[in-house]
Amino acid sequence: MTKFDEATQAIRVDETTYDVCLDPGYSIGGPLNGGYLMAVLLRAVVDASPHDHPVTTGAQFLRAPRPGPAQVRLEQIKAGRTAAMTRATLLQDGTSFIETLVTTATLGDVTPDWTDRPSAVMPPVEQCVVLPAPKPESNMTLNAQMEMAFDPPTIGWLDGNPTGRPEARAYFRMAEPQDPDPYVLALAVDALPPVVFSAGARGWAPTVDLTWHLRALPAPGWLTLLGSGRMISDGWFDEEVEVWDSAGRLVAQSRQLARVGRG
């Protein structure tokens, strides 16, 4: 079991309740990363499901939970031969922090009937750039859990030279050797810096709604994350992420709506 597996572990209490412990190692300056929190919820959902994989997850982030003990409460809405649907809620001290609707199924290792090409072309990983380590006082502990190598133009905002477009692109893998799986993908779809950074905004950009789809089981190796946005308006922005595996397959897609960074 890897550190990530331990950090997302869900322990069954009864048919509808799981105990979890939210790990402070996945902080983004105070709040916990939304992808990490989804992975925690999905551990409980899949454990209680007759199917093996979370193929679609819709999450509403009501408020930011703190590290420490929490519970996942499940409500089975439908259980069928090919898919099951579950409502899963993350609670602390009886208060709901995240509401999700998850559909599980069992995916096979098949060749797609048809797939589009990636929306952008990445340079080789050796030509990409690693972000500088955050200052200890920033409480950005998430960075230590993963390795990311960025397409240089998309992190021009670090030097005050944003491209002016909402975009982010990077290679991704866990810091501790681990083959990617659906729970790693849940983290990956929310691992990029907010795409509005490249458009000139800064500060914590809290996610309000995030939906992601598991399209295929990923091959070992680096994942490629391609992030973009369509509109920034009135303090809101959208972010879409494609995740491609080392075999060149589209393995996950996400879309979220978030607030433009404050601070």
Q: Is 140 buried (19+), middle (13-18) or exposed (0-12) by CB count in 10 A?
A: middle
> Residue 98 has what pLDDT?
98
One-letter amino acid for residue 123 of the chain: P
Task: Look at the alpha carbons of 38, 43, 44, 48 in this order and tell me if their dihedral is positive or negative.
Answer: positive
pTM: 0.97
Percent over 70 (pLDDT), the chain: 99
Q: Is the pLDDT of residue 24 over 90?
A: yes
> Residue 136 has what pLDDT?
80
Q: Is the pLDDT of residue 208 over 60?
A: yes
Distance CA 189, CA 195 (A): 12
Percent over 90 (pLDDT), the chain: 90
Residue length of the chain: 263
- Using CA atoms, how far residue 80 sits from 77, 191, 200, in Å, is 10, 32, 47
> Residue 125 has what pLDDT?
97
220 versus 139: which is more confidently predicted?
A: 220
Q: Mean pLDDT throughout 217-221?
A: 97
Question: Which of 191, 207, 196, 202 minimizes the C-alpha distance to 233?
Answer: 196
- Helix ranges (H only) for 63-207 are 182-188
**Tens of pLDDT, residues 162-198:** 999 999 999 999 999 999 999 999 999 999 999 999 9
The overall average pLDDT reported for the chain is 96
Q: Is the pLDDT of residue 261 over 80?
A: no
Q: Mean pLDDT throughout 148-172?
A: 96
Give 263's pLDDT tier (boundaries 50, 70, 90).
low
**Tens of pLDDT, residues 80-124:** 999 999 999 999 999 999 999 999 999 998 888 888 899 999 999
Out of 17-26, 185-194, 198-207, pick the least confident.
198-207
Q: Provide the b/e sequence for 247-260 (b: ≥16 CB within 10 Å).
A: eebbbbbbbbebbb
